[in-house]
């Protein structure tokens, strides 16, 4: 009996030793491979990282010891996002987070930001990008609270929020001095005051989206164009109140690459000729710019030789002559051209367009 017990004890000890050897070998070979993937893979999702924490204690410790892989908190479209955000920031590994994505996250409210400020006031000191798109429960108060603890914020997006007003923008410019990318698309309650605040405080602004901000007029836009001369992207989609006097000042933006003027019903060829001075334009949306003719498009073609995307959708005043001008100057760069609804253009068939613009890949911007 004693002999048998001794043999069994030896077997168990041998098995344990064998398991330890296998684990050591796994740690030596597999963990470095995993870390190589984690540190070089651009799009490894946060959920995958968290799953890896559960694989083994050794991998858990190794992952935690690399702060560079915990720079993003992505809770977009998640339920209980407010509580999840608070829970995440309670973990030391997220205390150097640079990017928080709450786009269309549910259950994110002002009170969640108030909790963050009361408990983790230093956790967001390095935050550079905050996406609050579709977070419709966030008000001016929430903007005030969250921006007060994000002094290094460079990109702020709060698309489709009708609760935010000029007061929220006032808090933003007061608390965050380094904004270069600002998305206020669908914030229908901001007015001229917000544009003046932006123009006075963000002279290094590179990207601005004012889509459907319907209370804006020429005065505020002109102030932006006069002060924010570093703009590379300007989105004025679905804003019909501006006039040529404002559009002409877009010519001041010598670095502009992306311009969306969809629905600019007051834009004329005179305004478009001025915009043609933005010679670095790569993308130009003129959908439903009903007063534009061949004259304006020709000016764009002759000056903007790097154009890759152009939409003329729904413009009845353009003809094949504008295509000839575009072919002469932009045939080697255009990859997207939308002339649907341009009844004056007869060469609208795909094959005909490809003969003029051999690099075309997309024939429809709007549907």
- Asked whether residue 199 falls in the same domain as residue 321, the answer is yes
For 263-300, how does the pLDDT look when each residue is reduced to its tens digit (9 = 90+)? 999 999 999 999 999 999 999 999 999 999 999 999 99
Could you please report the per-residue DSSP string of 301-350? HHH-TT--EEE-TT-TT--HHHHHHHHHHHTTT--EEE-TT-TT-S--SH
Burial of 20 (0-12, 13-18, 19+ CB in 10 A): exposed
- Asked whether residue 260 falls in the same domain as residue 331, the answer is yes
- Asked whether residue 190 falls in the same domain as residue 53, the answer is no
pLDDT at res. 1: 55
- Asked whether residue 327 falls in the same domain as residue 216, the answer is yes
The answer on pLDDT for 133 being more than 80 is yes
pLDDT at res. 60: 73
- In-domain check, residue 363: no
- CA dist., res. 168 & res. 123, Å (int): 22
- Asked whether residue 310 falls in the same domain as residue 323, the answer is yes
Lowest mean per-residue pLDDT among 15-24, 47-56, 75-84: 15-24
- In-domain check, residue 365: no
- In-domain check, residue 361: no
pLDDT at res. 65: 73
The answer on pLDDT for 188 being more than 70 is yes
For 237-246, how does the pLDDT look when each residue is reduced to its tens digit (9 = 90+)? 999 999 999 9
- Asked whether residue 162 falls in the same domain as residue 272, the answer is yes
Beta bridge partners of 338: 311
Mean pLDDT computed over 191-211: 98
pLDDT at res. 162: 96
Distances (CA, A) of 294 to 261, 274, 303, 315: 17, 15, 14, 10
Average confidence score pLDDT of the chain: 91
Q: What is the DSSP letter of 283?
A: E
For 30-58, how does the pLDDT look when each residue is reduced to its tens digit (9 = 90+)? 767 766 666 666 566 777 777 777 777 77
- Asked whether residue 306 falls in the same domain as residue 238, the answer is yes
- Asked whether residue 212 falls in the same domain as residue 278, the answer is yes
The answer on pLDDT for 189 being more than 70 is yes
């Amino acid at each position: 009996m004693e002999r048998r017990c001794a043999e069994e004890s030896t077997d168990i000890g041998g098995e344990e030793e064998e398991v330890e050897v296998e684990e050591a070998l796994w740690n030596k070979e597999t963990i470095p491979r995993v870390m190589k993937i984690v540190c070089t893979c651009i799009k490894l999702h946060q959920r995958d990282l968290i799953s890896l924490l559960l694989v083994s204690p050794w991998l858990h410790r190794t992952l935690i010891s690399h702060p560079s892989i915990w720079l993003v908190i992505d809770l977009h479209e998640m339920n209980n996002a407010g509580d999840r955000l608070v829970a995440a920031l309670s973990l030391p590994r997220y205390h150097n987070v640079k990017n928080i994505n709450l786009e269309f996250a549910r259950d994110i409210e002002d009170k969640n930001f108030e909790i963050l400020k009361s408990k983790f006031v230093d956790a967001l000191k390095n935050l550079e990008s905050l996406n609050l798109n579709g977070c419709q429960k966030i008000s001016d108060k929430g903007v005030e609270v969250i921006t007060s603890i994000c002094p290094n914020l460079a990109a702020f997006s709060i698309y489709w929020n009708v609760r935010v007003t000029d007061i929220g923008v006032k808090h933003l410019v007061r608390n965050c001095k380094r904004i270069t990318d600002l998305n206020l698309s669908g914030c229908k309650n901001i007015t001229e005051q917000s544009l003046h605040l932006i123009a006075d405080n963000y002279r290094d602004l590179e990207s601005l989206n004012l889509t459907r901000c319907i209370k804006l007029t020429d005065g505020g836009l002109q102030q932006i164009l006069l002060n924010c001369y570093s703009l590379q992207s300007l989105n004025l989609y679905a804003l019909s109140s501006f006039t040529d006097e404002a559009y002409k000042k877009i010519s001041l933006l010598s670095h502009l690459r992306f311009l969306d003027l969809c629905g600019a019903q007051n834009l004329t060829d005179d305004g478009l000729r001025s915009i043609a001075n933005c010679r670095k334009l790569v993308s130009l949306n003129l959908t439903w710019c009903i007063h534009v003719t061949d004259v304006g498009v020709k000016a764009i073609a002759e000056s903007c030789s790097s154009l890759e995307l152009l939409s003329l959708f729904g413009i009845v005043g353009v003809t094949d002559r504008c295509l000839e001008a575009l072919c002469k100057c932009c045939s080697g760069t255009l990859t997207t051209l939308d002339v649907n609804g341009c009844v004056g253009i007869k060469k609208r068939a795909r094959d005909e367009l490809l003969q003029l613009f051999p690099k075309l890949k997309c024939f429809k911007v709007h549907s």
